[in-house]
Amino acid sequence: MQIHHRKAKLSDLNLYFEWTNDPATRSNSFNTQEVDYQGHTNWFSRKIDDKKALLLVFENEKNIPVGQIRIEQKTDENIVGISIDKNFRGLGLAVPMLTSACEAFFTEFQAKNIHAYIKKTNLASLNSFKKAGFEVIEELLVNDEPSCLLEKKYV
């Protein structure tokens, strides 16, 4: 399957809301609580215009959205998050999505690295991130969850 990305836009609000509240997405998140619509609307409206965030929607060759990646510049690190639509999981899309998003972020933000925090129980994500060039640099607890901190460096 061929995929491409575009920057997210305000009209993607409901799509992101659906993805963020998907049960598998919530269970793999560090905050497992369902996100309320008003809170999501406020967050998304801010993030879409945030100069320190890159929100990308990935689509297949028919321009059907298959997932999203967000990379944000925080105070002392750049953090990536990914979710794939439930209808497109298991198709090997995470690695090309991550690779493409990281290239776009490194180019646009002149960054030196990107970090990912992933629960140790989320083996699919851990494997995908490693295949996309991320390396585990630390094992730690995040919200009392055994987790890994992974890093991809700009080369």
Percent of the chain with pLDDT over 70: 100
List of domains in the chain = 3-110 (3.40.630.30)
Task: Check: pTM over 0.85? Answer yes or no.
Answer: yes
- Tallying the residues shown for the chain, one arrives at 155
How high is the pLDDT of residue 93? 98
- Strands 53-60 and 3-7, by their bridges, are antiparallel
**Strand order across the 53-60 sheet:** 3-7, 53-60, 65-73, 78-84, 113-119, 145-153, 135-142
